[in-house]
Amino acid sequence: MTINTPLVNGTSYCTVTAYSNDSFEKTVEFYTRFLELEQLAEFSNKEAAILSNGIISIKVSLSVDAAKQSAVEEQIKQLESVTKTKDWRSQVSQTLVFNTSDIFSLQDALSTLEYPSQSYPSSINPMELYTIDPLGNIIGVTSTKNAVSIKPTKSSNSPVSVSSTNTDGSLSKNHSFTDLSYRMKTTDAYPSLPNKTTTAGKKSIAVMTSGGDAQGMNSNVRAIVRSTLFKGCRSFVVMEGYEGLVKGGPEYIKEVSWEDVRGWSTEGGTNIGTARCLEFRQREGRLLGAQHLIEAGVDALIVCGGDGSLTGADLFRSEWPSLIKELVDTNRISQEQFQRYQHLNICGTVGSIDNDMSTTDATIGAYSALDRICTAIDYVEATANSHSRAFVVEVMGRNCGWLALLAGIATSADYIFIPEKPATSSEWQDQMCDIVAKHRARGKRTTIVIVAEGAISADLTPISPADVHKVLVDRLGLDTRITTLGHVQRGGTAVAYDRMLATLQGVEAVNAVLESNPDTPSPLIAINENKIVRKPLVESVRLTKSVAEAIQAKDFKKAMSLRDTEFVEHLNNFMAINSADHNEALLPADKRLKIAIVNVGAPAGGINSAVYSMATYCMSQGHKPYAIYNGWSGLARHESVRSLKWEDMIGWQSRGGSELGTNRATPKDADMGMIAYYFQKYQFDGLVIVGGFEAFESLHQLERARDSYPAFRIPMVLIPATLSNNVPGTEYSLGSDTALNALMEYCDVVKQSAASTRGRAFVVDVQGGNSGYLATCASLVVGAHASYVPEEGISLEQLSQDIENLAEAFDRSEGRNGFGKLILKSTNASNALTAEDLARVITAEAKGQFDAKAAYPGHVQQGGLPSPIDRTRATRFAIRAVDFIENQQDTIRSAREANDDFTADDKAVSGTAAVLGVKGSHVVYTSIRQLYDYETEISKRMPKVIHWEQIRAIADHLVGRKRVD
């Protein structure tokens, strides 16, 4: 018989005596199932049984004695009666204690077997665990540091997770939490749980980061590690990328625990390292990698990296059968290991600041790098304005111009160079000088030209910042400087979007691994619009490489076609808004319209970007853009209508607040008749409303007033803009990303303060009205201990549970650095408890173990410069809004011509007043009538369907929060 590596060790031999046949059988079953001991048949009979794991042995002997059996039963009854009130160890003269390195699996076993137990110092993080055997003995296990801890190897019918010793036979120092699901109530509907049919065998999942580092990689690793542990699997990290696979051993392939990744979301770079590895490109290197994974007990690998890293991962999987065949033939692995590790599941998450992976809208780190670029250009433009200078800014991008393109839109750059759309040397010089000269002639004091590092001319000649500098100086006589941002673009912590993207993709990557079978193609976790999706890894990599090949072949049309449609849309948008009215209008005179824009509600990041983009796009088309200043009240009281001119809007794209002015008055509040009068006076052909729920109400009121006021019989579209993100018809509102970043930065600072003062938690008051979106997303990206939102309120049971969790968390922190805790509370989560009240309650209930303070970021959440996401999405939505107004002209014209027969209830007519939004993987227009009548909780100012519920569940589970039903 072969004894696997044992679960427990310590005392080498002991004897226990049973006084009845029934207790004898129950005792044998107890030690077999609880401590994973095996009965040695050759030494066992009806009167004795020897149970062993190769290191410890327990003899169960039978001596029938009714009186003693009665005493045993009485003792067991007495001990069970004081389980919750007294320490069993004080009730008996001796206990039998074994050493273990996997105390959590034993705790799970006790729960499964329904044996009574006591845990010390707590059930959340026990160091000692005790139970009662069928003979009334107190049996304990301990994982204290002086224990001789050996990892278990799971047998086919064992409930314990798979583990292994280090390859050199030494004992592992990494303790792992095994199944965290017992810590919190959950249901099969929880989005990160795999189907039960796919988890018959527990996996060991490893994660590695490879290639260039990218902000958000640490968030991705944290999510993968904790999701893996939550689902009862073992979690490993591979240090230093593929180099770690090649070198192997416990130094490079490490098992990690829940606490090992605490606080990683707030850290830049990748804490598990990344490195280029030439050895892995050779078969012998991949052979070593396979051997080392098998030795560590890993059977699934998640790789976060770029196209090169993911190509290597898929090659590794395709070669796996031949690699393990060679390993077993050369006796480098055993026949048992060969059978156990027949298949390697691979999954990819894309970490790359270039955003050059096909089939996904965004890669981990791309928006953080864009944020660095936009911040730098905002700074550079300030000094450029002072001296009326030109700046040539070089950004990263290799074969992809995404960073340069999006930065060009977000900062209103004068010209950009990207590899996907080159011109001949003479063409780009003429084009650039033409647009810069026109901008300067209109009074623009600054010139910003952005050059992607992979910029080329049509003959594939590289275009350097020095080349651009020379042209600006020689042909235009501009005082010009060059700024190369370099690795600053990779630096710093991830923005909120990347933390969230990396976290959600990490959770989905674990799902994919657990749900995969040997025939499942390796998946790549992508995002399309607002939806996390799985794509075939091989196909995504192939398309990505095809772009570079097309560029090298000078087939630039094909290169552009291989980019996603959003990239092409962004490029067309940049060219349209950059030309404004400097060139001849694209539309004939009879197609040109008068289009008004108004801001309604509270300020939100991206509002000015939407106005600027709408106006400049209108100009390029030939439309005349009008601004309604100070909302509906400004129009009704002061006729605050002005036509927008390009020179008056210089710099608006990157400004916070609202240059038009905004307030919460609706048309009914202001004066519906006067508003209709001015609409008729200026003969508006379309209206764009930018704002939150008051804007939503405004669109509803105008649409319903069409029967009485013909002036409103025009296409009208709402661009949602509110930090609350509570507008029905969309999963994203302008300003919500800016607010989330502001709140995230505030929470990071507050958390640092909490960590500096031992035993402190902060309760942060979060805006958002009746929507918990901001608090929920902030909770996910900052790793808050708990969040309270209006949709759930604050129950006394949940609050009590969260305080207990806090106490246990501080108890197990053991004085470690960086252990600060946050609780986020939406202002409207409770009418009875403010953040200050909540902090006082928590402090009182903590009984001196820790304290809590209140923190109020207030209107910081509304202010500041808009994030690059809000700037670029504002441009995209504004241009789509104008396109909507153009496309609806025929429908609304036919309805107007009917005059007295105008039918506002007609579906096509009501569809000309719509909300522009993102739903899943699509940008959609939804009739305001449909949304208002069927999809809105008017009294709560909320949509009926809460689209971010899954995010909330994941945020709670990734911090181990217990939920009270």
729-761 per-position pLDDT tens digit? 999 999 999 999 999 999 999 998 888 877 899
**What digits encode the pLDDT tens for the residues 481-490?**
999 999 999 9
Q: 175-189, 424-438, 565-579: which has the minimum mean pLDDT?
A: 175-189
Of 120-124, 277-281, 355-359, the one with minimum mean pLDDT is 120-124
* CATH, domain 195-362+495-543, list 2.50.20.10, 3.40.50.450, 3.40.980.10, 3.40.50.1980: 3.40.50.450
**853 marked ligand binding residue:** yes
More reliable by pLDDT, 386 or 563: 386
Q: Known binder of ligand: residue 920? A: no
DSSP-H helix ranges across 114-231:
217-230
Residue type present at position 300 = A
Q: Per the annotation, does 901 bind a ligand?
A: no
Is 148 known as a binding-site position?
A: no
Tell me how far the alpha carbon of residue 854 is from its chain's centroid.
27
The answer to whether the beta carbons of residues 155 and 4 sit under 8 Å apart is yes
- Which DSSP symbol is given to 6? P
pLDDT tens figures, 269-303: 999 999 889 999 999 999 999 999 999 999 999 99
**The pLDDT of residue 153:** 30
Q: Using alpha carbons only, how large is the chain's radius of gyration in Å? A: 33
The residues, ordered by sequence, that sit 6+ positions from 749 with a Cβ below 8 Å of its Cβ are none
Q: What is the pLDDT of residue 196?
A: 39
What pLDDT, on the 0 to 100 scale, is given for residue 899? 60
Is pLDDT of 666 > 50?
A: yes
Average pLDDT over residues 94-108: 81
Residues 6+ apart with CB under 8 A from 392: 449, 451, 465, 468, 469, 472, 480, 481, 482, 483
For residue 160, pLDDT over 90 is answered with no
Give the position of tokens 């039918």.
903
Q: Which residues are CB-contacts of 182 (< 8 A; sequence separation ≥ 6)?
A: 107, 108, 111
Quick one: tokens of 190?
């929880």
Mean of the per-residue pLDDT values of the chain = 88
- Determine if residue 860 is labeled as part of a ligand binding site: yes
Q: Which two tokens stand for residue 960?
A: 């181990």
For residues 694-719, average pLDDT: 96
pLDDT of amino acid 144? 61
797-849 pLDDT, tens digit per residue, is 999 999 998 888 887 766 555 578 999 999 999 988 999 999 999 999 988 88
Residue ranges per domain, the chain? 8-142, 195-362+495-543, 367-490, 580-734+866-934, 739-862+951-958
Binding residue per annotation — 605?
no
308 is in an annotated binding site: yes
Cα 18 from Cα 239, distance rounded (Å): 51
Give the pLDDT confidence score for residue 122 in this predicted structure. Answer: 67
Looking at per-residue confidence, does 491 or 165 come out higher?
A: 491
For domain 580-734+866-934, give the CATH number. Answer: 3.40.50.450
Which of the four pLDDT bands, split at 50, 70 and 90, describes residue 624?
A: very high
Q: Is 481 annotated as a binding residue?
A: yes
Instruction: State the Cα–Cα distance between residues 251 and 239, nearest whole angstrom.
Output: 8
Coil, strand, or helix at residue 447?
Answer: strand
Q: Are 350 and 357 in contact (CB under 8 A)?
A: yes
In this prediction, residue 182 carries a pLDDT of 32
pLDDT value at 174 more than 50: no
Higher pLDDT, 217 or 811: 217
Residue 155 has pLDDT above 80, yes or no: no
pLDDT value for 897? 73
Active site (catalytic) residues: 354
What proportion of the chain, given as a percentage, has pLDDT over 70? 91
What is the model's pLDDT at position 14?
A: 81
**pLDDT at position 10, please?**
57
Whether 453 has a binding-site annotation, put simply, is yes
Q: What is the token pair recorded at 304? A: 């976060």
- Answer yes or no: is 722 a known binding residue: yes
What does DSSP assign to residue 123?
A: S
SS3 content of the chain, % helix, strand, coil (to 5): 45, 15, 35
Q: Cα–Cα distance between 681 and 667 in angstroms, integer? A: 17
pLDDT at residue number 187: 36
Is there a binding annotation on residue 306? yes
Three-state SS at 415? strand
Instruction: Kindly state the average pLDDT of the residues 169-174.
Output: 29
Mean pLDDT throughout 906-923? 92
> In degrees, to the nearest 5, what angle opens at C-alpha 345 toward C-alphas 341 and 349?
150
Fold of 367-490: Rossmann fold (3.40.50)
CATH annotation of 8-142: 3.10.180.10
For residue 855, list its beta bridge partners. Answer: 764
- The pTM (predicted TM-score) of the whole model is 0.79
pLDDT (tens digit per residue) in 6-53: 555 655 678 889 999 999 999 998 888 888 888 887 777 888 888 888
Residue 938: pLDDT above 90? yes
The answer to whether 164 touches 151, Cβ cutoff 8 Å, is yes
Domains 8-142 and 580-734+866-934 share a fold: no
pLDDT of 97 reads 84
**What is the per-residue pLDDT for 759?**
82
State residue 962's pLDDT score: 87
In this predicted structure, the answer to whether residue 696 has a pLDDT above a threshold of 70 is: yes
Tell whether 725 is in a known binding site. yes
Residue 353 marked ligand-binding: yes
Task: Tell me which of 176 and 525 has the higher pLDDT.
Answer: 525
Higher pLDDT, 110 or 290: 290
Question: In the structure, what pLDDT confidence band is assigned to residue 900 with cuts at 50, 70 and 90?
Answer: low
**Which pLDDT score is estimated for 331?**
95
CA distance 255 to 239: 11
Is residue 310's pLDDT more than 80? yes
Please name the CATH architecture into which domain 739-862+951-958 falls: 3-Layer(aba) Sandwich (3.40)
Summarize pLDDT for 140-153 with one digit per residue, the tens: 888 764 333 222 33
- How far is residue 733 CA from its own chain's centroid? 17
Residue 422 clears pLDDT 50, i.e. is over it: yes
Residue 673 annotated as lining a ligand binding site = no
pLDDT above 80: residue 82? yes
Q: Confirm or deny that 862 is annotated as ligand binding.
A: yes
309 annotated to bind ligand: yes
Which whole number is the average pLDDT over 899-919? 86
488 has binding-site annotation: yes
Residue type, 713: R
Residue 301, exposed/middle/buried by CB under 10 A (0-12, 13-18, 19+)? buried
